[in-house]
Amino acid sequence: MVKLVLQPGASVARIAREHDINDNLLFKWLRLWQNVR
């Protein structure tokens, strides 16, 4: 899902809703992924 968020024009809130997760969780995963890179 993080890779979906990184696509141009992607919406974290929309992607989170589509996958039935909280958008804050997806933001957390994105931050973790960026710190590992």
Tell me the per-residue pLDDT of 1-37, one tens digit each, with 9 for 90 and over: 999 999 999 999 999 999 999 999 999 999 999 999 8
Buried (b) or exposed (e) across 2-26, using 16+ Cβ within 10 A? eeebeeeeeebeebbeeeeeeeeeb
Q: Positive or negative CA dihedral for 19, 1, 36, 32?
A: negative
| pLDDT at residue 35 in the model | 94
Q: Which two tokens stand for residue 22?
A: 């909280």
For residue 11, which phi and psi values (nearest 5 degrees)?
Answer: -115, 120
| pLDDT at residue 9 in the model | 96
| pLDDT at residue 37 in the model | 80
Cβ neighbours, 10 Å, residue 36 = 6
